[in-house]
């Protein structure tokens, strides 16, 4: 793992709030996932709630973290590890995650 400036965690200037995505992996992403990783790579220390219409989606490691605090279920055998919730639950879910000590990034 490297930060946006390609520094490793053992570098004293390492920035844990960012993430470098190597070109081969970047080019393999779909358009929607490129947009998500543009946001996540600059907010690596936050839980990203990514909006699709009236729904918010949470991906990958963020979905596992949210699953511990919010009543969301990751379907078994799901490869991408995605959970989502309706916008009506946004305020409550933000409150739960902030009270658990997490920062939130809301994205559309």
Digit-by-digit pLDDT tens for the chain (108 residues) are: 999 999 999 999 999 999 999 999 999 999 989 999 999 999 999 999 999 899 999 999 999 899 899 987 767 766 668 888 999 999 999 999 999 999 999 987
* pLDDT for position 81: 81
Q: Any idea where the domains of the chain sit in the sequence?
A: 1-42, 45-107
Question: CATH number of the domain at 45-107, out of 3.40.1170.10, 2.40.160.20, 1.20.120.1200, 3.40.50.2000?
Answer: 3.40.1170.10
The three-state DSSP-derived secondary structure of 18-54 is: CCCCCHHHHHCCCHHHHHHHHHHHHCCCEEEEEEECC
* pLDDT for position 71: 81
């Amino acid at each position: 793992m490297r930060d946006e400036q390609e520094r490793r965690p053992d570098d004293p200037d390492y920035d844990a709030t960012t993430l470098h995505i190597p070109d081969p992996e970047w080019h393999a992403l779909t358009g929607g996932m490129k947009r998500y990783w543009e946001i996540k790579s600059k907010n690596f220390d936050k839980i990203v709630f990514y909006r699709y219409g009236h729904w918010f989606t949470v991906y990958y490691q963020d979905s596992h973290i949210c699953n511990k605090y919010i009543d969301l279920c990751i379907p078994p055998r799901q490869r991408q590890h995605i959970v989502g919730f309706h916008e009506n639950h946004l305020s409550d879910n933000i409150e739960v995650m902030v009270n658990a000590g997490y920062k939130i990034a809301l994205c559309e």
